[in-house]
Chain A
Amino acid sequence: MRYFAPASLEEAINILLEHEGAIILAGGTDVMVEKRSGKIEPSAVVDIKKLEGELRYMRLSDDRLEIGSLTTITDILHWGKLPHEVTSLKDAARVFGCHEIRNRATIGGNIAHASPGAEFASTLLALDATVQLAGKDGKRELSMEDFFLGPGKANMERGEVITGFSVPLLSGSSSCYMRASRVDGMDLAIINCAIRLQDLDAENLAVRAAFGAVAGKPIRIVEAEKLLAREDFEGVKRLLFDTLNPRATSLRAAPMSKKLLAGNLAEDTYKIAKERLAG
């Protein structure tokens, strides 16, 4: 395996294109584990950490939050300026791995890995974020819905690099992320749920609800959003129990327990988001 540490994005893209089987190395917390276990055998790794000056940032504009792909989970957890509308990002960072993993793991790696239960996948999906990619033909931007294709599969061409994410900050909105896991400490989610609420008028709420580890990729469930907007929690539980079809290959829980858990988790997540909307 070759190791490259390019000093520019252009150089990184060129190396990725020149070397068949080359992959990007960010924090390495997925790459190194999968390489050591033999799950992947990259011909080369392209370490992009020299691009931190360009790709490690969190910036606020008028109505958006911009997050660079090399932003670490620790960066997100400790950023004092995180707007209250996107508190779900902090929820996700708080339960993520452990201190030492958070120090290395990046948000770009979390999304690029396209694991169905990744902490920031459902979170960014519920927040209606877009992902920004750079490749040899220039830049493009995709919705999170269009980005995830299946377990470990993302809408990325060879030679493309995620440069960042753009998250809308809606006025009168709030968000929450929660996961169900076996232990409170370091664990991956059995399932997870992220919700964004927005006040439309005195009576109506707009709800976006995303679920992780219930299918081959993180998904939004529009019917569940409608029921949550009416606070019909029993309806949500029934709907998710009846319609979810989790993969039986999951290591963390049987499909039946995921189906049973989903509605309860959605209710809890919704209620916290609602409290945040008021407070």
Chain B
Amino acid sequence: MSVEIKINVNNRDYRLIVDEEDTLLYVLRERLHLTGTKEGCGNGECGACAVLVDGEPVRSCIILAAEMNGKNIVTVEGLSKVEKDGTVKLSPIQESFIEEGAIQCGFCTPGFVVASSALLEKTKDPTDEEIEEYLSGHLCRCTGYATILKAVRKAAEKTR
């Protein structure tokens, strides 16, 4: 069976008919074509699918789209801004990931970037411990995490 939901994604309102079984992740990727959000494990363990719902990071692979009626959702695509002349302005956290080379295959990156941006919304000056704790449920099989932590620290400095 299907159900109608109204959601706001990256500052745009959508009215969608979704299947009752569809996950939020599926709707974002396959219906709205926002493929920045990745599916890693598909069962809540890796963080690749993290998005913000009403400002808080959650895992879109284990949330039904039907549960999202009336919610505000931000995906990795919503962190950057498109200027009037069409150029894309990346967020400080995205810039820092590039500058620090906190990426190898890039599959985990949207999840890390989305979660880190929520952390920096809350605390402008997170300690290393806070960053580690906040991101502890995100898995990266390539970088070894050191560059990721560096990038988050750098972004914090930039936003201060």
- Determine if chain A interacts with chain B: yes
Q: Can you list 19 A-B contacts with CB-CB less than 8 angstroms, sorted by A residue number?
A: A2-B20, A5-B69, A25-B64, A28-B64, A29-B62, A32-B61, A32-B64, A33-B44, A47-B64, A47-B66, A98-B136, A98-B137, A98-B138, A99-B133, A100-B59, A100-B115, A101-B59, A104-B62, A185-B136
Shortest B61–chain A CB gap in Å is 8
Q: Which residue of A lies closest to B22 (CB)?
A: A3
Q: Decide if B134 touches A99 in the complex (CB within 8 Å).
A: yes
Q: Report the bound CA distance from A36 to B49 in whole Å.
A: 15
Q: Which residue of B lies closest to A97 (CB)?
A: B137
Q: Which residue of B lies closest to A37 (CB)?
A: B43
Q: Decide if B45 touches A186 in the complex (CB within 8 Å).
A: yes
Q: Decide if A100 touches B58 in the complex (CB within 8 Å).
A: yes
| Top 9 A-B residue pairs of the complex, sorted by shortest distance between their CB atoms | A98-B137, A32-B62, A3-B20, A185-B136, A3-B66, A33-B43, A186-B137, A100-B57, A98-B136
B positions within 8 Å CB-CB of A: 1, 3, 20-21, 23, 42-45, 47, 50, 56-59, 61-64, 66-67, 69, 115, 133-138
Shortest A45–chain B CB gap in Å is 7
Question: Counting CB contacts under 8 A, is A103 at the interface?
Answer: yes
CB neighbors of B among A92-149 (8 A) = 97-101, 103-104
Q: Decide if B43 touches A103 in the complex (CB within 8 Å).
A: no
Given known pairs A28-B67, A37-B43, A186-B136, the reply for A1 and B59 (CB within 8 Å) is no
Q: What is the interface of chain A mostly: helix, strand, loop, or mixed?
A: mixed
Question: Counting CB contacts under 8 A, is A49 at the interface?
Answer: yes
Q: Decide if A36 touches B43 in the complex (CB within 8 Å).
A: yes
Q: Decide if A28 touches B62 in the complex (CB within 8 Å).
A: yes
Q: Report the bound CA distance from A49 to B58 in whole Å.
A: 15
A-chain residues with CB within 8 Å of residue B134 when the two chains form the complex: 99
Q: Report the bound CA distance from A28 to B66 in whole Å.
A: 12
A-chain residues with CB within 8 Å of residue B56 when the two chains form the complex: 103
Q: Which residue of B lies closest to A32 (CB)?
A: B62
Q: Report the bound CA distance from A45 to B64 in whole Å.
A: 10
B-chain residues with CB within 8 Å of residue A186 when the two chains form the complex: 45, 136-137
Point out the residue from B3, B47, B62, B135 that lies within 8 Å of A36, measured CB to CB.
B62
Q: Report the bound CA distance from A100 to B45 in whole Å.
A: 10
- Interface size of A by CB at 8 A reads 23
Given A25-B67, A103-B56, A185-B136, output 13 extra A-B contacts at Cβ < 8 Å. Answer: A1-B21, A3-B1, A3-B3, A3-B20, A3-B66, A28-B62, A29-B62, A32-B43, A32-B63, A99-B134, A99-B137, A100-B58, A101-B137
Q: Report the bound CA distance from A89 to B59 in whole Å.
A: 24
Q: Report the bound CA distance from A2 to B1 in whole Å.
A: 7
Shortest B39–chain A CB gap in Å is 11
B-chain residues with CB within 8 Å of residue A97 when the two chains form the complex: 137
* Among A1, A28, A100: residue with most chain B CB under 10 A: A100
Q: Which residue of B lies closest to A99 (CB)?
A: B134
B-chain residues with CB within 8 Å of residue A101 when the two chains form the complex: 44, 59, 137
Q: Which residue of B lies closest to A35 (CB)?
A: B21
CB neighbors of B among A1-52 (8 A) = 1-3, 5, 25, 28-29, 32-33, 36-37, 45, 47, 49
Given known pairs A99-B137, A100-B50, A101-B44, the reply for A28 and B63 (CB within 8 Å) is yes
Q: Report the bound CA distance from A186 to B136 in whole Å.
A: 7
Q: Report the bound CA distance from A255 to B159 in whole Å.
A: 50
Q: Report the bound CA distance from A98 to B45 in whole Å.
A: 9
CB neighbors of B among A231-252 (8 A) = none
